[in-house]
Amino acid sequence: MIFIRAFSRAVRFQRKIFGEYSSSLCLQQATFRDILSAPEGPEGAVSHLRGSSLKVLGCREFSSWALPALYSVRHQIHQQSNSYVEEQLDPFSLVADELSILANRLRAMVVAEVPKLASAAEYFFKLGVEGKRFRPTVLLLMSSALDVSTHEPPSKTIENTLTTKLRDRQQCIAEITEMIHVASLLHDDVLDDADTRRGIGSLNFVMGNKLAVLAGDFLLSRACVALASLKNTEVVSLLATVVEHLVTGETMQMTSSSNDRCSMEYYIQKTYYKTASLIANSCKAIALLAGQTTEVATLAYDYGRNLGLAFQLIDDVLDFTGTSASLGKGSLSDIRHGIITAPILFAMEEFPELRVVVEQGFENPSNVDIALEYLGKSRGIQRARELAKEHASLAAAAIDSLPGNDDEDVKRSRRALIDLTHIVITRTK
Amino acid sequence: MIFIRAFSRAVRFQRKIFGEYSSSLCLQQATFRDILSAPEGPEGAVSHLRGSSLKVLGCREFSSWALPALYSVRHQIHQQSNSYVEEQLDPFSLVADELSILANRLRAMVVAEVPKLASAAEYFFKLGVEGKRFRPTVLLLMSSALDVSTHEPPSKTIENTLTTKLRDRQQCIAEITEMIHVASLLHDDVLDDADTRRGIGSLNFVMGNKLAVLAGDFLLSRACVALASLKNTEVVSLLATVVEHLVTGETMQMTSSSNDRCSMEYYIQKTYYKTASLIANSCKAIALLAGQTTEVATLAYDYGRNLGLAFQLIDDVLDFTGTSASLGKGSLSDIRHGIITAPILFAMEEFPELRVVVEQGFENPSNVDIALEYLGKSRGIQRARELAKEHASLAAAAIDSLPGNDDEDVKRSRRALIDLTHIVITRTK
């Protein structure tokens, strides 16, 4: 039974890579063993698989995002235990079907009465520009990872009904989280005068600042209506606080003093507000809806918080090491906008003279070059990666600390959540 | 007892006009009879009272806003029944003490961690720029107007505790409504590139668009956290929908086609979304918190909706008939921004040729002059006022339709709500 499930999920995963209409020959040709046996390392594994791939709008981005890291994780696991590999799956594929349903529901949820507002609100929910769907994936996996059958249900039918109802409510949290996330992106792009997002023109660039502000407000209000429908005021409060954190983080970034910009503590606090709070508190909301104990809800929060911090630290590293094409935005965009992140902060610890450059700002491009020179001869990038790894480990430890459970689905989801911590720190885009 | 209450309220009202530190002589000199006996009409009544007034920051605006209209209402009542006059009070003064507490609580509620965000968020809650506090006044009066003692309480003490708790929750609705209102003002000012608001520089003008957008988001999130604390999901949903309406109304105004701009139906719908929905739905929330029946909640909604529509219709009239000084913004600002309101729509019914001018837009100032010429020879202003009066009457009728109640406080608050409908349509600023 587990084998059949694992196989059907493997097929779904391959469909994600090769397209919904890939031939059975194609399915036979490319298996997980192909990823693991690709000789040229992670990039090789991707091109190896991509050789016969059909272009699937919307799936391409996250597949290519997940695969190199997956290769690395698999590679380690493969070396440890061959038998374990068959059961390991891409975390995204575990919830792929549900993600599709969720994407459709999201599109239905953001329909607005006024045509222009409708176009603006649905802009980043359209097929192909939905992003990596990282947050909904985490939340759906967290939903499965937290077992709810703590006592014997009156009957199997009632148990199924309750489980379905809970799952619907947890899916709703995933949808609300995406709406809040996209709303914050829309407003952030207005604030940053950004012209691209997810490889296409930003909404403010395409439809103007005004509609981008309104569309953000609209998504927040729809998220709030959806939250109210869950009829759990603790969850409403939790996610409303997240919106406040997003705003606080953005303001911290925008209004920081020279001292603030040179402080690691300030940077971590800002990163929590801007990135980690959303995933941390929505993970907690998933646990609360399931009626979990405070301890379990805190572990869910810890997972989200540390995963979020690791994610952002790597994002900040990639801003220095990535390329425009793979990032979907200009490389070095942070430092060019005067935003100081972990790699530079660590470099500054080694070379205190870098602080003078940071204090001067980066309007003068030669200051960017000087900072990069210091960064290059420092261990800044390496230490930022190490800090990300520490947070990834803490996230994994939170999952390991959850009360023991023998259910195969629960165990699989927990493994997938741990896999995600590796994917986050080994990704190259 | 009633007399003492009426007297202490009269004293409070006079304090509002003459300042908290007015002398007892001053209190003796200026009574309501002075307002009613002022020979020169409403404006005379104001200057009559203002003669010895001390300037009180924050109170001056709403007193002068309410008084001319109050004069008119009082004048009519005076002619009908002299004995009734003693009990009649300015609706604002009935809740003046509570409004002060509420203003302080609002300032505490919008405190933010990051200094710049704190300054931005509190900008319109500071003493002196709190505006007319029209919405909180309506909501506090509505709270008193809806009697909750439908059954015999177990004891007087329990009854008092329950009433206090309910009043706290209803005050919270008033605070949330103000936060949503101010958040929408901040975003609207960004969208309209406005440079003044409430007689001072708009937040976007003083602190920039970015902080204005963030402060708006922050207020919305704080409103949402406060809403969640009420633990009533119907109320959360109701006020979240209001935010959606505010956005919808603003988008309707911003993206209207030529046909839309010439349609009275579109104008009324937009006005409901932009102005009336907030007061209508928060009135309904007051009723729901009090555990009122659906019928009573609907009457509260009807009152708010019609009062809101009347308010905006008069606002639109005053944009043509008022002066910059009394409005706190440039006169004719709507038409100069291409926003077509009721007076022009009515004028267009009389002079269909005006439509061509409207379709051409108002970037050319001579088109404004042509439109004003048509408006001057039409009954546009008069018909817009009549429509406002109709809505004011409908609002008053909703209060009259509430279940009968003999409690003096309830009756007084209902009368004040009806008075407000007159104040709204007779105001001159």
Cβ(A144)–Cβ(A410) under 8 Å? yes
3-state SS, residue B292: coil
3-state SS, residue A208: coil
Measured CA to CA, the distance from residue B279 to residue B306 in angstroms comes to: 9
Question: Which residue type, as a one-letter code, is found at position A346?
Answer: F
The residue among A36 and A404 whose pLDDT is bigger is A404
Please report residues of A whose CB lies closer than 8 A to that of B228.
Answer: 233-234, 236-237, 240
Nearest chain B residue to A189, by CA: B210
Task: Report the percent of chain A where pLDDT is more than 90.
Answer: 48
Q: Cβ–Cβ of B233/A228 closer than 8 Å? A: yes
Nearest chain A residue to B218, by CA: A244
Quote the minimal CA–CA distance from B331 to chain A in Å: 24
- Would you say residue A88 has pLDDT above 70? no
Nearest to A138 by CA among A423, A400, A426, A403: A423
Nearest to A395 by CA among A145, A95, A43: A145
Average pLDDT of A381-391? Answer: 97
Please report residues of A whose CB lies closer than 8 A to that of B237.
Answer: 225, 228-229
The residue among B111 and A386 whose pLDDT is bigger is A386
Measured CA to CA, the distance from residue A77 to residue A90 in angstroms comes to: 13
Q: Range with the lowest mean pLDDT among A103-107, A230-234, A344-348, B18-22?
A: B18-22
ipTM value for the complex: 0.73
Residues of B near A (Cβ–Cβ under 8 Å) read 112-117, 187, 190-191, 209-211, 213-214, 216-218, 220-222, 224-225, 227-231, 233-234, 236-237, 240-241, 243-244, 246-248, 250-252, 254-255
Please report residues of A whose CB lies closer than 8 A to that of B212.
Answer: none
Band of the pLDDT at A29, cuts 50, 70, 90? Answer: very low
Question: Which residues are within 8 A (CB) of B81 and not within 5 positions of it... i.e. 6 or more apart?
Answer: none
3-state SS, residue A289: helix
A160: which 2 tokens? 């199924």
Question: Which residue type, as a one-letter code, is found at position B284?
Answer: K
Cβ(B418)–Cβ(B142) under 8 Å? no
Please report residues of A whose CB lies closer than 8 A to that of B218.
Answer: 244, 247-248
Nearest chain A residue to B266, by CA: A114
Using alpha carbons only, what angle is made at residue B170 by residues B164 and B172, rounded to the nearest 5 degrees?
105
Both ends of chain B: CA-CA distance in Å?
A: 36
Domains and CATH numbers, chain A: 2-93 (no CATH), 96-426 (1.10.600.10)
The distance of Cα A415 from the centroid of its chain, to the nearest Å, equals 17
Cβ(A97)–Cβ(A12) under 8 Å? yes
- The CA-atom distances, in angstroms, between A302 and each of A397, A404, B419, B420 are 9, 18, 56, 52
The whole-number pLDDT of residue A154 equals 58
Please report where in the chains the tokens 């103007």 appear, as a residue. A208
Torsion sign across C-alpha atoms B32, B38, B43, B44: negative
H or E stretch at B233 = helix B233-254
Please report residues of A whose CB lies closer than 8 A to that of B231.
Answer: 233
Please report where in the chains the tokens 């007159």 appear, as a residue. B422
Q: How does pLDDT run across A65-85, given as a tens digit for each residue?
A: 444 444 444 434 334 434 444
Q: Cβ–Cβ of A241/B225 closer than 8 Å? A: yes
Nearest chain B residue to A209, by CA: B191
Burial group, residue A179, by CB count within 10 angstroms (0-12, 13-18, 19+): buried
Question: Which residue type, as a one-letter code, is found at position A30?
Answer: A
Gyration radius of chain B's alpha carbons: 22
Using alpha carbons only, what angle is made at residue A58 by residues A55 and A59, rounded to the nearest 5 degrees?
65
Average pLDDT of A198-216? Answer: 84
Cβ(A255)–Cβ(B114) under 8 Å? yes
Q: Cβ–Cβ of A222/B244 closer than 8 Å? A: yes
Question: Which residues are within 8 A (CB) of B73 and not within 5 positions of it... i.e. 6 or more apart?
Answer: B88, B419, B422, B423, B426
Please report residues of B whose CB lies closer than 8 A to that of A211.
Answer: 251, 254-255
Quote the minimal CA–CA distance from B212 to chain A in Å: 10
- Would you say residue A33 has pLDDT above 50? no
Question: Which residue type, as a one-letter code, is found at position A221?
Answer: S
What does the DSSP assignment read for A148-164? ---S--S-HHHHHHHHH
H or E stretch at B197 = strand B196-197
B404: which 2 tokens? 């009968």
Please report residues of A whose CB lies closer than 8 A to that of B214.
Answer: 187, 191, 247, 250-251, 254
The whole-number pLDDT of residue A324 equals 53
CB pairs under 8 A between A and B: 140
Nearest chain B residue to A227, by CA: B237
Question: Which residue type, as a one-letter code, is found at position B368?
Answer: V
Q: Cβ–Cβ of A237/B225 closer than 8 Å? A: yes
- The CA-atom distances, in angstroms, between A343 and each of A316, A347, A349 are 7, 6, 10
Cβ(A219)–Cβ(A183) under 8 Å? yes
Measured CA to CA, the distance from residue A191 to residue A253 in angstroms comes to: 11
The whole-number pLDDT of residue A121 equals 83
Quote the minimal CA–CA distance from A102 to chain B in Å: 22
Nearest chain B residue to A211, by CA: B251
Question: Which residues are within 8 A (CB) of A282 and not within 5 positions of it... i.e. 6 or more apart?
Answer: A135, A139, A173, A174, A176, A177, A238, A239, A242, A304
3-state SS, residue A122: helix
Highest mean pLDDT out of A99-108, A184-193, A264-273, B96-105: A264-273
What does the DSSP assignment read for A369-408? HHHHHHHHHSSHHHHHHHHHHHHHHHHHHHHHTSPP---H
The whole-number pLDDT of residue B126 equals 78
H or E stretch at B201 = strand B200-201
Measured CA to CA, the distance from residue B177 to residue B238 in angstroms comes to: 11
- The number of beta carbons lying within 10 Å of the beta carbon of residue A331 is 17
Query: Least CB-CB distance to B228: which of A187, A229, A237?
Result: A237
- The number of beta carbons lying within 10 Å of the beta carbon of residue B324 is 12
Please report residues of B whose CB lies closer than 8 A to that of A244.
Answer: 218, 221-222, 225
Q: Cβ–Cβ of B236/A228 closer than 8 Å? A: yes
Quote the minimal CA–CA distance from B237 to chain A in Å: 5
Nearest chain A residue to B219, by CA: A244
The residue among B84 and A379 whose pLDDT is bigger is A379
Band of the pLDDT at A149, cuts 50, 70, 90? Answer: low
Measured CA to CA, the distance from residue A235 to residue A232 in angstroms comes to: 5
Q: Cβ–Cβ of A233/B237 closer than 8 Å? A: no
Please report residues of B whose CB lies closer than 8 A to that of A228.
Answer: 233-234, 236-237, 240
Mean pLDDT by groups of 10 residues along chain B of 429 residues:
39 36 32 33 36 32 42 41 52 89 89 86 77 91 83 63 84 95 89 79 83 90 90 90 92 91 96 97 97 96 98 95 58 88 97 94 90 95 97 98 94 96 91
B200-201/A196-197 β-pairing: unpaired
Please report residues of B whose CB lies closer than 8 A to that of A257.
Answer: none
Q: Which of A214, A239, A253, A274 to mutate to test the interface with B (most CBs of B within 10 A)?
A: A214
B413: which 2 tokens? 């608050």
Measured CA to CA, the distance from residue B181 to residue B188 in angstroms comes to: 10
Query: Least CB-CB distance to B221: which of A113, A230, A240?
Result: A240
Quote the minimal CA–CA distance from A32 to chain B in Å: 45
Measured CA to CA, the distance from residue B59 to residue A8 in angstroms comes to: 71
A58: which 2 tokens? 């919307």
Residue A56 is given by DSSP the state -
Residues of A near B (Cβ–Cβ under 8 Å) read 112-117, 187, 190-191, 209-211, 213-214, 216-218, 220-222, 224-225, 227-231, 233-234, 236-237, 240-241, 243-244, 246-248, 250-252, 254-255
Cβ(A316)–Cβ(A334) under 8 Å? yes
Helix axes A380-400, A342-350, angle to 10 degrees: 120
Q: Cβ–Cβ of A247/B117 closer than 8 Å? A: yes
Question: Which residue type, as a one-letter code, is found at position B82?
Answer: N
Quote the minimal CA–CA distance from A194 to chain B in Å: 13
Question: Which residues are within 8 A (CB) of B310 and not within 5 positions of it... i.e. 6 or more apart?
Answer: B388, B389, B391, B392, B395, B421, B424, B425
The whole-number pLDDT of residue A55 equals 30
Using alpha carbons only, what angle is made at residue A398 by residues A184 and A181, rounded to the nearest 5 degrees?
10
Cβ(A303)–Cβ(A278) under 8 Å? no
Nearest to B305 by CA among B210, B183, B391: B391
Measured CA to CA, the distance from residue B84 to residue A198 in angstroms comes to: 68
Quote the minimal CA–CA distance from A244 to chain B in Å: 5
- The number of beta carbons lying within 10 Å of the beta carbon of residue A400 is 10
The whole-number pLDDT of residue A21 equals 30
Nearest chain B residue to A243, by CA: B221
A39: which 2 tokens? 């000789």
Quote the minimal CA–CA distance from B169 to chain A in Å: 15
Query: Least CB-CB distance to B213: which of A114, A213, A246?
Result: A213
B414: which 2 tokens? 């209902």
Measured CA to CA, the distance from residue A283 to residue A288 in angstroms comes to: 9
Please report residues of B whose CB lies closer than 8 A to that of A233.
Answer: 228-231, 233, 236
Query: Least CB-CB distance to B228: which of A115, A229, A233?
Result: A233
Quote the minimal CA–CA distance from B235 to chain A in Å: 9
Please report residues of A whose CB lies closer than 8 A to that of B229.
Answer: 233, 237
B252: which 2 tokens? 């309707």
Q: Cβ–Cβ of A229/B241 closer than 8 Å? A: no
Nearest chain B residue to A238, by CA: B225
Please report residues of A whose CB lies closer than 8 A to that of B187.
Answer: 213-214, 217
Q: Cβ–Cβ of A247/B217 closer than 8 Å? A: yes
Nearest chain B residue to A210, by CA: B191
Nearest to B106 by CA among B62, B145, B139, B143: B139
